[in-house]
Protein backbone atom coordinates (compact mmCIF):
# COMPACT_ATOMS: atom_id res chain seq x y z
CA UNK A 1 0.00 0.00 0.00
CA UNK A 2 2.88 2.36 0.76
CA UNK A 3 4.37 1.78 -2.68
CA UNK A 4 1.03 2.52 -4.36
CA UNK A 5 0.78 5.74 -2.32
CA UNK A 6 4.32 6.71 -3.38
CA UNK A 7 3.55 6.01 -7.03
CA UNK A 8 0.24 7.91 -6.74
CA UNK A 9 1.98 11.01 -5.40
CA UNK A 10 4.57 10.85 -8.17
CA UNK A 11 2.13 10.19 -11.03
CA UNK A 12 -1.10 11.78 -9.81
CA UNK A 13 -3.23 8.79 -10.72
CA UNK A 14 -4.21 5.87 -8.51
CA UNK A 15 -4.89 3.58 -11.48
CA UNK A 16 -1.50 4.28 -13.03
CA UNK A 17 0.15 3.93 -9.61
CA UNK A 18 -1.37 0.49 -9.08
CA UNK A 19 -0.30 -0.61 -12.55
CA UNK A 20 3.26 0.64 -12.11
CA UNK A 21 3.62 -1.05 -8.72
CA UNK A 22 2.28 -4.31 -10.16
CA UNK A 23 4.73 -4.06 -13.06
CA UNK A 24 7.52 -3.37 -10.57
CA UNK A 25 6.69 -6.49 -8.57
CA UNK A 26 6.72 -8.60 -11.73
CA UNK A 27 9.95 -7.09 -13.03
CA UNK A 28 11.76 -7.33 -9.68
CA UNK A 29 10.52 -10.78 -8.65
CA UNK A 30 13.66 -12.54 -9.84
CA UNK A 31 15.99 -10.16 -7.97
CA UNK A 32 14.12 -9.80 -4.67
CA UNK A 33 15.57 -13.02 -3.25
CA UNK A 34 19.12 -11.77 -3.80
CA UNK A 35 18.46 -8.19 -2.69
CA UNK A 36 19.83 -7.24 0.71
CA UNK A 37 16.81 -5.05 1.39
CA UNK A 38 13.90 -6.18 -0.82
CA UNK A 39 11.65 -3.23 0.11
CA UNK A 40 14.31 -0.67 -0.85
CA UNK A 41 14.99 -2.53 -4.09
CA UNK A 42 11.29 -2.56 -4.91
CA UNK A 43 10.88 1.11 -3.95
CA UNK A 44 13.74 2.01 -6.30
CA UNK A 45 12.07 0.01 -9.06
CA UNK A 46 8.75 1.82 -8.45
CA UNK A 47 10.39 5.26 -8.49
CA UNK A 48 12.27 4.45 -11.70
CA UNK A 49 9.10 3.20 -13.39
CA UNK A 50 7.22 6.33 -12.28
CA UNK A 51 9.98 8.52 -13.68
CA UNK A 52 9.86 6.60 -16.97
CA UNK A 53 6.09 6.97 -17.08
CA UNK A 54 6.34 10.72 -16.44
CA UNK A 55 8.95 11.11 -19.19
CA UNK A 56 6.72 9.24 -21.66
CA UNK A 57 3.70 11.28 -20.63
CA UNK A 58 5.64 14.54 -21.02
CA UNK A 59 6.75 13.50 -24.52
CA UNK A 60 3.20 12.58 -25.48
CA UNK A 61 1.87 15.85 -24.07
CA UNK A 62 4.50 17.83 -25.97
CA UNK A 63 3.53 16.06 -29.17
CA UNK A 64 -0.20 16.42 -28.76
CA UNK A 65 -0.24 19.72 -26.84
CA UNK A 66 -3.18 18.38 -24.83
CA UNK A 67 -3.47 19.55 -21.21
CA UNK A 68 -3.82 16.51 -18.96
CA UNK A 69 -5.73 17.39 -15.79
CA UNK A 70 -5.75 15.31 -12.62
CA UNK A 71 -9.07 15.05 -10.81
CA UNK A 72 -8.32 15.74 -7.14
CA UNK A 73 -10.29 17.22 -4.27
CA UNK A 74 -10.13 21.07 -4.30
CA UNK A 75 -7.90 21.31 -1.22
CA UNK A 76 -5.34 18.96 -2.74
CA UNK A 77 -5.62 20.30 -6.29
CA UNK A 78 -3.63 23.49 -5.65
CA UNK A 79 -0.83 21.63 -3.88
CA UNK A 80 -0.77 18.94 -6.57
CA UNK A 81 -0.55 21.53 -9.32
CA UNK A 82 2.38 23.19 -7.56
CA UNK A 83 4.08 19.82 -7.07
CA UNK A 84 3.35 18.72 -10.65
CA UNK A 85 4.82 21.98 -11.94
CA UNK A 86 8.21 21.23 -10.43
CA UNK A 87 11.01 19.69 -12.47
CA UNK A 88 11.01 15.90 -12.14
CA UNK A 89 14.09 15.58 -9.92
CA UNK A 90 12.84 18.20 -7.44
CA UNK A 91 9.43 16.55 -7.31
CA UNK A 92 10.94 13.10 -6.72
CA UNK A 93 13.24 14.44 -3.99
CA UNK A 94 10.34 16.17 -2.20
CA UNK A 95 8.08 13.12 -2.40
CA UNK A 96 10.78 10.78 -1.11
CA UNK A 97 11.64 13.17 1.72
CA UNK A 98 8.20 14.16 2.92
CA UNK A 99 5.91 11.34 1.81
CA UNK A 100 8.29 8.41 2.22
CA UNK A 101 10.19 10.06 5.12
CA UNK A 102 13.57 8.96 3.77
CA UNK A 103 16.83 10.47 4.93
CA UNK A 104 18.97 12.63 2.66
CA UNK A 105 21.48 9.79 2.28
CA UNK A 106 18.75 7.28 1.35
CA UNK A 107 17.32 9.65 -1.24
CA UNK A 108 20.79 10.30 -2.67
CA UNK A 109 21.37 6.56 -3.04
CA UNK A 110 17.95 6.04 -4.59
CA UNK A 111 18.35 8.90 -7.07
CA UNK A 112 21.98 8.12 -7.83
CA UNK A 113 23.38 11.51 -6.79
CA UNK A 114 25.24 13.14 -3.91
CA UNK A 115 23.57 14.14 -0.61
CA UNK A 116 24.38 17.79 -1.32
CA UNK A 117 22.47 17.56 -4.59
CA UNK A 118 19.46 16.12 -2.74
CA UNK A 119 19.57 18.96 -0.20
CA UNK A 120 19.70 21.47 -3.05
CA UNK A 121 16.80 19.78 -4.89
CA UNK A 122 14.67 19.79 -1.73
CA UNK A 123 15.55 23.39 -0.88
CA UNK A 124 14.79 24.64 -4.40
CA UNK A 125 11.66 22.51 -4.65
CA UNK A 126 10.29 23.91 -1.39
CA UNK A 127 11.12 27.44 -2.55
CA UNK A 128 9.26 26.91 -5.79
CA UNK A 129 6.29 25.40 -3.94
CA UNK A 130 6.28 28.36 -1.54
CA UNK A 131 6.23 30.85 -4.42
CA UNK A 132 3.35 29.11 -6.18
CA UNK A 133 1.24 28.53 -3.07
CA UNK A 134 1.61 32.01 -1.58
User: Residues 35-87: pLDDT tens digits?
Assistant: 788 888 889 999 999 999 988 888 877 776 545 555 656 556 688 888 888 99
Looking at residue 96, what DSSP letter applies? I
Whether the predicted pLDDT of 93 surpasses 90: yes
Output b/e per residue, 94-132; b: 16+ Cβ within 10 A: bbbbeebebebebbbebbeeeeebbeebbebbbebbeee
Largest CA distance in the chain: 47
User: What is the dihedral sign for C-alpha 57, 94, 115, 18?
Assistant: negative
Rounded CA-CA distance 10/26 in Å is 20
Q: Which of 52-61, 62-71, 92-101, 111-120 bottoms out in mean pLDDT, i.e. has the lowest?
A: 62-71
Q: Which domains does the chain have, with CATH numbers?
A: 1-68 (no CATH), 72-134 (1.10.10.10)
| Contact status, residue 53 vs residue 47, Cβ threshold 8 Å | no
Distance separating alpha carbons of residues 134 and 129, to the nearest angstrom: 8
Report d(CA 58, CA 11) in Å as an integer.
11
Claim: this prediction has a pTM higher than 0.85: no
Residue 110 to residue 132: CA distance in whole angstroms: 27
Summarised one tens digit per residue, pLDDT across range 3-15 is 999 999 888 888 9
Amino acid sequence: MALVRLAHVLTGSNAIAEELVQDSFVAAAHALERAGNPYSYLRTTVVNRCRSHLRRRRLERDRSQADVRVALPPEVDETWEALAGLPERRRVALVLRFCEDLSIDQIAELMGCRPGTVKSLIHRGLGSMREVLS
